[in-house]
Structure 1
């Protein structure tokens, strides 16, 4: 079998994610500069408002950096081939996930976000591929909470969640033979 499925990054979705992250960074700045506006009506304490503002700036500022990189990334977002799955759509960028390492593919829903979880017999192999310590910690946390360090989101891809899930399940079934 020599079929290769390639799914492009969606620049439109990436721009929307960028705008959303920027909005939260701006909101964080307002929380820090004007805590009295928010402490009276919502939170009741200016210190809590400032802590929320700082947290928003740090978290969504990091998101802005990763999303900006994806906006100018010209690689294929997601590849399925005879070797396995390569997900270039997120910040983890762990390379090829080999079919022989995959034991299950399932959807996990957290609030309104759907993720495709890839259960593997070698989770440490993929955790060790993380590019930096922060990503490694996130993958370890995912493994502890959800049973897999590998999660796939279609948030930056030109495909819907259900479509990608169906393709992955079909291709996985073929490889299981």
Structure 2
């Protein structure tokens, strides 16, 4: 974490990204196995070749997209997260929101999906963030976040050189500090 003139920069964690990439490639491999040589079983669900084919295809598409996104992030020299007077600039994932001004942020909530924690940024103008996204895959992911969790903007510590609790404390403290000015 770098601090310069009231600007805090949290770099992307190449180690965390590599581990996630390794996992994504493993799931793509599993999907390929399901397509090329599906397991033979008498199980009602797993013995259904159509079900196995659909699962294999879903694994390849989803985790292939994850792998491509991570590979692109490896060459990204920008900080994963920048916190300053203007707000929070998110560059931490494939669905990063860019600059989120403090004035737009109403609340930062903790959300847990399975064992994965996220910070949901409840903003006053969520549609504006959806409208500025040109990539249809990214826009649909953000729309799904919005419909499911009430905000298109979420940040996790998965690709950052920090842990979740430190990230949450830092962002909430800075939001309170900058909003009180």
Unmatched runs of 5 consecutive residues or more in structure 1: none
After TM superposition, list the pairs within 5 Å mapping 1:44-123 onto structure 2. 44-123=47-126
Aligned: 1:135 with 2:133 = no
CA contact (8 A) 1:9 1:89 kept: yes
* TM-score computed with the length of structure 2 as normaliser: 0.92
Unmatched runs of 5 consecutive residues or more in structure 2: none
Show CA shifts across 1:128-174 (max 9, x none): 22241111111111111111110001110000000000000101111
Report the counterpart of residue 175 of structure 1 in structure 2.
178
In structure 2, which of residues 21, 25, 37 is the aligned counterpart of residue 22 of structure 1? 25
The total of aligned residue pairs comes to 175
When the two chains are superposed, the root-mean-square deviation of aligned CA atoms in Å is 1.3
In structure 2, which of residues 33, 37, 45 is the aligned counterpart of residue 34 of structure 1? 37
Residues 123, 30 of structure 1: CA spacing in aligned structure 2 closer, same or farther, 3 A cutoff?
A: same
Q: Aligned equivalents of 1:170 and 1:40: distance in 2?
A: 56
> Going by fraction, where is helix more abundant, 1 or 2?
1
In structure 1, which of residues 144, 148, 162 is the aligned counterpart of residue 147 of structure 2? 144
